[in-house]
Structure 1
Amino acid sequence: MLTGPQGTGKRSGAVALLRETVGPTADYVVLSPDIGLDQLAERTFEASVGYVVLDRTGSAGAAEGVAGPSADFDWRRVRDQLRRHGAHLVITTVHGVTGRAPEAVRHLRWRPPALDKVVRARLVQARTPQDTVERAVTGMPPGCPIAVVADAAQRIAAGADPDQVWKEHTGGAPQAVREWFDVDEERSLREIAEVTTLAFAPGIGRRAFESLQDVLERLLEPVYFASEAVPPPSGASVPDAAGQSAAADGQDRRQPRRARPVDRRRSLARNSLIETEMQVYGATTREVMVFADAELRRWVLQALWRYHPTEYWDAVREWLGLVVDADHDPALQLSIASGLTLLGHIAFDEVVQSYLDPWARGEHGLTGQTVAAYVLWFMCLEETQAAAALTLVRTWAQSTHPALRGTALVAFSGQLGATFPTDAVKWLWAVLRSGVLDKQEEREAGLHAWAQLFLTLVDCQEDAGIVLDALAYRIRKEQRTRSAAYSATGLLALETALYVFTATERLSGRPAVARYIADRPAEAEVVAELWAAMLRYRPLRRDALSALLVTVRALPAVTSDPTTAAARLGHALVAVLPQAEHPLLADELGRLAVSRPARATEPDCVATLIGALNRVKDGHPR
């Protein structure tokens, strides 16, 4: 048990402990942050596997954070259960134990490592030249959070200049923002609109920036300018009750002069927080608006929240809603999402109540739901907000509101699922099985979420086996308890497995399961088990055969030894399929391959797979 403040490297420390204990190449399972000691004591663990609970809240019982016989007994049960299964667990939390810590489990006060050692270790491991290592260590500014130091070291290891990297973290951003806001005269509406627009939409071109700023200024005008009755000019008459003017002869009927165009570019040039940047794209360049220092964005949002009233934030909420409705550019959506994530550090309730909940309910359509999911994914990249994002989405998953459930499915299928895969599998299955997805499009969204979670875990090089293991467990349970047809739950597991095995990578279009088979040879058995279950269920057999053919043909593109991977999958299928199914599968797969010829330049992995089936068939007496 590691206790200490957030942002001090406890997560990395927990992973390092597991790697030293279980092994550097072993997987570790991330458990829910609000899991209780009773749940841990009753959980079945796998031998020689590492488990980690990040930023545990201890909400399962008040006694868990208080020393005493009861707390020690609960911890002892958890320890004994882990020993019984030969597993290992590390828990991190910001909440220390009141009084004397339980004796059954060691509670360690986490002490972050020296920052210079963190930089040096990471750069040496990346084989960075020694002179660059020394420049990086000596140029590091004091007071940097350990997460910033780790990110900077990663960028330097990738080839960035140390001086330029550390320049972004010199600590001058807070002072620059304070000086900009604390001038004698209040900043004008236009200046506030400039920094607000950039806070939520950095890195966009001038024309798009000015258009967004113009919309925001119109919404902010009622906040900054109270409507006043304008006195009539000298010599003019005031309209009567009927609207008729008793103007004297010679009334001035001249047309009003045209207003001078707003010169936003001149104003932007005077704004010390903003600058333009030329981004190179091949042979072309693009001028975009950025903060003079990347760290300014966070501090500008903090100052805006501190100094501006509710009416201002009401206008910002309406403005962002209009932007989300009108512009479907994914880059702009991501910028808005990252801005809301930064605002969440300061005003989490504001972000949830004004943006996440309404957008997740579909107030701004599918685009709003997508941006809400982006915000949650950004939160998962930061140690301080990941657990809060999980709690919020779990509430949506239990809701009866269809749009909230749909947004929860999307959130769990992405970075939230990669951060908390155990919770993602649990809640995706709960939503899918609950029967609330009665419409066909909602049901397909639930199945698609499972496929996307598997794809995300494969893309992130995380343990995607948790998805397959969950489906295999349910199918095994179905086969043990039913002797004839599958139940509705069993059929749902089979259909979900088919969706997972047909999920394709975003760029290459290849099945993600092909890369999974190539990267994790030991997992061929569970893949074959799921495929065998689908092949034996005749309504899904044709689709399962087609998916198997596409996957085997994709192996040459994902591994340098595709025939070995194909043979391994073939042997695994032989082990789980009944003997009578072997010649039938070989025959059907061969005919399907002939009808869909592959490129002659690639190894014939389908023939290798069929050969594995035939060799076993020939070895059995007829």
Structure 2
Amino acid sequence: MTSSGVTSILNFNGPVYADHATMGVSGLVASERGATGQGRLSRDEIAAALSAYISPPQLREAAARLAHEHVITLEGPAGIGKRAGAIRLLSTTTDGDLFALSPVISTSELATRRFTPGHGYVIVNRVAARDGQGSDVAWRELRQRLAAARAYLVVTLVPEETSQAAREAIFHVPWGRPDLSRAVRAKLGPAAADDLVDRVLQAVPDDCSMTDLTRVAQRLAAGETFEAALRDVRRAESAAVSAWLGNASMPDMLAMVVIAFLHGADRRTFETALAELRRLTRDSSDEPSPTVHALSTGHALATLERVGGGPVSGRMIFQRPRYRGLVLRHLWDRLSVSDWNAIRDWLDRAIDSDPTHGDRDRNEIVRQVAAGLVLLMKVEGREVEVSYLDPWSAADDRPVAQYAAAHTLGLMSYDDALAPYALEIVGHWTRAENRRRQQTAAVALAGPLGIRYPADAAAGLWALTTRTPGIGEEGCEAIAMHFANLIAHDASTAFVLKLLIDTLGRYNRPGDQQRLTDLTLHAVHRVLTVTTAGGGEPAVVTLLRRRPDRLERVADLWSGLVANSRFRRRGMEALDAALAALRYPGADTAPVRVDLLESVYATRSSSGRTAHDPSSSPATRILESPDE
């Protein structure tokens, strides 16, 4: 494997994707990880979306058109409640299960998809650059297919993602916010005082998302103080940032850039980085650079978070988390293109920084740079993609750059509005010919992005593994990491298990293409042996403890692996390790162990192989069976 292969990126300076991926990343507010980006929506998730739901004026007409035409789109800016509206529409139109489909699914794929009768489907924040939103013929075919299946589909999108063909073929609803006063009161409860509702509405910005508004109301209902409940959103914060930057000198603005991208920097890191950025921007002003000491005393936006003794010991941060994104939004307009080119060059060097940059390790620097890029993505997404993500994803012999690109997409996956665009970007990388870019795509799909969109992740990782040219066994490692991350976050493994079982049935037979057979078996072996975080038990054992109903699928994988003479010993060693792990803790896993053995041999027997007594040694029995 090359020095900048998938494993090198995954292992870059410690675990890439920990459970606390967004903890300590100021300015980013993670969406609920329970939100399903792809797959069946749980009853709890549907109930949460509809809890204290206030209908906008458009709901009645939208419901009538959905019942008649089986597909509609809800169009409007991010954060106005389109997803909750889609779930409400589907819940009142059908009693069947609800499923979330990929936001990057093409119109032609939709028009040929099989829909289950009576079920409801939603595509949240659809982006469709792959086919330009499709032709009106494809949209009409989709509508006919849904009607024939008695199924229903609601698509939510922002106005710039809507084509004329789609407008002419299916009914578009210009979605609006519900009455904010009613929405806040519904979340706070009927006993909420009028003055509290008014205070909330006066304090939040005009573009406050329904998600943020709900979070504020929930905090207040839980007993938090007014100031604490509104810590992420305040109308006055934008005005404060605008006013300060309106009178700021160039060195002051560059200091804010450093804090925005290296949030939490210590004194050495901050002052060294600011001096380097001033040099790259050719800032010729006579004003000295602001020091940590100066910024720590009475600054309007920044402050020093004390972490030790001494007059300037601590970390440079913004006084309020939301300042970080607001500073980048305002500076995007204030600074010139040449200034942003210099910032790009500075960040490119910053992620390669060595210990002379200060006490922070590179992992933390990259993490904060990625967080800053996510906030800049909300302002000018094309700039981030073209100037940072695309070059870094294809960087030669720079696993840190590939890690930075993948980690940025991972952080984007926590944002409801940005997650679909992260999936679109990784799709471009997956289809690229550049091997480095393919590796970066694999790492991104193995992380939080793959947890949010597990079907797209499974398909993308398999395409990267098997295509020519592709990444081969490196892709198998990424598939295993994806599997382990799904289990670590209690997400659905159904898609990756189905993929591997299907490919085993297709390629694990005599006469198949040897390369595809080997890759299939290697992927299965790595999935069955990858361990949980920290080198714990096999991830598949954790899955079986948590989901005994997955035992049959897991047994199918093991049966396919040990049926191949070249992988039989490795498969049996993995099975023995799993059985040993299932002995602990306690004896409550004994039935799972017996069922696993019996399922493996039942599967082998049903496929024409000789069944054996599961009470004898499993390794001996299978190793002594004839080659196939």
Q: Which TM-score applies when normalising by structure 2?
A: 0.73
In 2: Cα distance, 1:303 partner to 1:338 partner: 17
Give the secondary structure class of the aligned counterpart of 2:321: coil
For residues 379-424 of structure 1, the C-alpha deviation after alignment (integer angstroms, 9 at most, x for no partner) is 2222333332222222222222221111111111112222332222
Q: How does 1:307-318 map to 2 (within 5 A)?
A: 307-318=334-345
> Are residues 106 and 264 of structure 1, via their aligned partners in 2, closer, same or farther at CA, if it must alter by over 3 Å?
closer
> Are residues 73 and 28 of structure 1, via their aligned partners in 2, closer, same or farther at CA, if it must alter by over 3 Å?
closer
Q: How does 1:325-340 map to 2 (within 5 A)?
A: 325-327=352-354, 328-340=361-373
Of all paired residues, the percent bearing the same amino acid is: 27
Q: How many aligned positions are there?
A: 532
- Paired amino acid for 2:425: L
Work out whether residues 223 and 311 of structure 1, in 8 Å CA contact, stay in contact via their aligned partners in 2.
Answer: no
Work out whether residues 32 and 422 of structure 1, in 8 Å CA contact, stay in contact via their aligned partners in 2.
Answer: no
Task: Single out whichever of 397-406 and 134-143 deviates more from structure 2.
Answer: 134-143
For residues 63-91 of structure 1, the C-alpha deviation after alignment (integer angstroms, 9 at most, x for no partner) is 8686xxx47742333304644xxx66443
Give the secondary structure class of the aligned counterpart of 1:539: coil
In 2: Cα distance, 1:346 partner to 1:484 partner: 54
Give the secondary structure class of the aligned counterpart of 1:224: coil
- Paired amino acid for 2:146: R
- Paired amino acid for 1:355: Y
In 1: Cα distance, 2:171 partner to 2:584 partner: 48
Q: Which has the larger radius of gyration?
A: 1
User: Which residue number in structure 1 is paired with residue 81 of structure 2?
Assistant: 9
Matching residue within 289, 301, 309 for 1:273: 301
User: Which residue number in structure 2 is paired with residue 420 of structure 1?
Assistant: 453
The answer as to 2:263 corresponding to 1:196 is no
> Are residues 536 and 509 of structure 1, via their aligned partners in 2, closer, same or farther at CA, if it must alter by over 3 Å?
same
In 2: Cα distance, 1:459 partner to 1:382 partner: 20
Matching residue within 447, 455, 463 for 2:484: 455
In 1: Cα distance, 2:462 partner to 2:256 partner: 43
User: Which residue number in structure 2 is paired with residue 544 of structure 1?
Assistant: 571
Work out whether residues 33 and 387 of structure 1, in 8 Å CA contact, stay in contact via their aligned partners in 2.
Answer: yes
The answer as to 2:530 corresponding to 1:468 is no
Work out whether residues 123 and 157 of structure 1, in 8 Å CA contact, stay in contact via their aligned partners in 2.
Answer: yes
For residue 119 of structure 1, report the CA deviation from its aligned partner.
Answer: 6.5
User: Which residue number in structure 2 is paired with residue 182 of structure 1?
Assistant: 246
Q: Looking at both structures, which has the greater relative contact order when contacts are Cα pairs under 8 Å and sequence separation is at least 6?
A: 2
User: Which residue number in structure 2 is paired with residue 296 of structure 1?
Assistant: 323
The answer as to 2:528 corresponding to 1:501 is yes
For residue 118 of structure 1, report the CA deviation from its aligned partner.
Answer: 6.2
> Are residues 342 and 552 of structure 1, via their aligned partners in 2, closer, same or farther at CA, if it must alter by over 3 Å?
same
For residue 348 of structure 1, report the CA deviation from its aligned partner.
Answer: 1.8
Work out whether residues 359 and 369 of structure 1, in 8 Å CA contact, stay in contact via their aligned partners in 2.
Answer: yes
For residue 584 of structure 1, report the CA deviation from its aligned partner.
Answer: 7.5
In 1: Cα distance, 2:578 partner to 2:220 partner: 38
Give the secondary structure class of the aligned counterpart of 1:290: strand
C-alpha RMSD over aligned residues: 4.0
For residue 99 of structure 1, report the CA deviation from its aligned partner.
Answer: 10
Task: Single out whichever of 332-341 and 537-546 deviates more from structure 2.
Answer: 537-546
Work out whether residues 552 and 566 of structure 1, in 8 Å CA contact, stay in contact via their aligned partners in 2.
Answer: yes
User: Which residue number in structure 1 is paired with residue 409 of structure 2?
Assistant: 376
For residue 466 of structure 1, report the CA deviation from its aligned partner.
Answer: 0.2
For residue 137 of structure 1, report the CA deviation from its aligned partner.
Answer: 9.6
Unaligned runs of 5+ in 1: 125-129, 227-259, 281-285, 593-609, 611-622
In 2: Cα distance, 1:313 partner to 1:501 partner: 47
User: Which residue number in structure 2 is paired with residue 512 of structure 1?
Assistant: 539
- Paired amino acid for 1:9: G
Work out whether residues 353 and 362 of structure 2, in 8 Å CA contact, stay in contact via their aligned partners in 1.
Answer: no
User: Which residue number in structure 2 is paired with residue 229 of structure 1?
Assistant: none
Give the secondary structure class of the aligned counterpart of 1:275: strand
Work out whether residues 238 and 326 of structure 2, in 8 Å CA contact, stay in contact via their aligned partners in 1.
Answer: yes
> Are residues 334 and 225 of structure 1, via their aligned partners in 2, closer, same or farther at CA, if it must alter by over 3 Å?
same
For residue 274 of structure 1, report the CA deviation from its aligned partner.
Answer: 0.4
Give the secondary structure class of the aligned counterpart of 2:472: helix
Give the secondary structure class of the aligned counterpart of 1:223: coil
Give the secondary structure class of the aligned counterpart of 2:101: strand
For residues 546-598 of structure 1, the C-alpha deviation after alignment (integer angstroms, 9 at most, x for no partner) is 22233334446699942343344334324312276543775444779xxxxxx
User: Which residue number in structure 1 is paired with residue 464 of structure 2?
Assistant: 431
- Paired amino acid for 1:389: A
The answer as to 2:140 corresponding to 1:78 is no
In 1: Cα distance, 2:404 partner to 2:111 partner: 38
In 2: Cα distance, 1:477 partner to 1:512 partner: 25
User: Which residue number in structure 2 is paired with residue 231 of structure 1?
Assistant: none
> Are residues 541 and 72 of structure 1, via their aligned partners in 2, closer, same or farther at CA, if it must alter by over 3 Å?
closer
The answer as to 2:266 corresponding to 1:205 is yes
For residue 209 of structure 1, report the CA deviation from its aligned partner.
Answer: 2.6
For residue 187 of structure 1, report the CA deviation from its aligned partner.
Answer: 0.8
For residues 351-378 of structure 1, the C-alpha deviation after alignment (integer angstroms, 9 at most, x for no partner) is 1222112211115710111011111122
User: Which residue number in structure 2 is paired with residue 55 of structure 1?
Assistant: 125
In 2: Cα distance, 1:299 partner to 1:342 partner: 9
For residue 152 of structure 1, report the CA deviation from its aligned partner.
Answer: 4.2
- Paired amino acid for 2:503: R
For residues 419-443 of structure 1, the C-alpha deviation after alignment (integer angstroms, 9 at most, x for no partner) is 3322222222122111324xxxx43
The answer as to 2:217 corresponding to 1:217 is no
User: Which residue number in structure 1 is paired with residue 554 of structure 2?
Assistant: 527
Give the secondary structure class of the aligned counterpart of 1:578: helix
In 2: Cα distance, 1:503 partner to 1:137 partner: 54
In 1: Cα distance, 2:530 partner to 2:121 partner: 28
Give the secondary structure class of the aligned counterpart of 2:265: coil
- Paired amino acid for 1:383: D
For residue 319 of structure 1, report the CA deviation from its aligned partner.
Answer: 1.6
In 2: Cα distance, 1:102 partner to 1:380 partner: 32
- Paired amino acid for 1:94: V
Work out whether residues 2 and 110 of structure 1, in 8 Å CA contact, stay in contact via their aligned partners in 2.
Answer: no
Work out whether residues 31 and 51 of structure 1, in 8 Å CA contact, stay in contact via their aligned partners in 2.
Answer: no
In 1: Cα distance, 2:118 partner to 2:425 partner: 33
In 2: Cα distance, 1:565 partner to 1:116 partner: 53
- Paired amino acid for 2:126: R
For residues 324-351 of structure 1, the C-alpha deviation after alignment (integer angstroms, 9 at most, x for no partner) is 1115432221111010111112222221
Work out whether residues 124 and 156 of structure 2, in 8 Å CA contact, stay in contact via their aligned partners in 1.
Answer: yes
For residues 6-65 of structure 1, the C-alpha deviation after alignment (integer angstroms, 9 at most, x for no partner) is 2223334445666788989x78453242421x3223224567876432222455767868
The answer as to 2:213 corresponding to 1:149 is yes
The answer as to 2:229 corresponding to 1:165 is yes
Work out whether residues 185 and 192 of structure 2, in 8 Å CA contact, stay in contact via their aligned partners in 1.
Answer: no
Give the secondary structure class of the aligned counterpart of 2:126: coil
In 2: Cα distance, 1:48 partner to 1:477 partner: 31
Work out whether residues 473 and 522 of structure 2, in 8 Å CA contact, stay in contact via their aligned partners in 1.
Answer: no
> Are residues 42 and 589 of structure 1, via their aligned partners in 2, closer, same or farther at CA, if it must alter by over 3 Å?
same
> Are residues 369 and 552 of structure 1, via their aligned partners in 2, closer, same or farther at CA, if it must alter by over 3 Å?
same
For residue 530 of structure 1, report the CA deviation from its aligned partner.
Answer: 1.0
> Are residues 337 and 463 of structure 1, via their aligned partners in 2, closer, same or farther at CA, if it must alter by over 3 Å?
same
Work out whether residues 72 and 102 of structure 1, in 8 Å CA contact, stay in contact via their aligned partners in 2.
Answer: no
> Are residues 548 and 19 of structure 1, via their aligned partners in 2, closer, same or farther at CA, if it must alter by over 3 Å?
farther
In 1: Cα distance, 2:236 partner to 2:228 partner: 14
- Paired amino acid for 1:35: S
Work out whether residues 602 and 611 of structure 2, in 8 Å CA contact, stay in contact via their aligned partners in 1.
Answer: no
The answer as to 2:472 corresponding to 1:402 is no
User: Which residue number in structure 2 is paired with residue 31 of structure 1?
Assistant: 102
Work out whether residues 34 and 59 of structure 1, in 8 Å CA contact, stay in contact via their aligned partners in 2.
Answer: no
Give the secondary structure class of the aligned counterpart of 1:289: strand
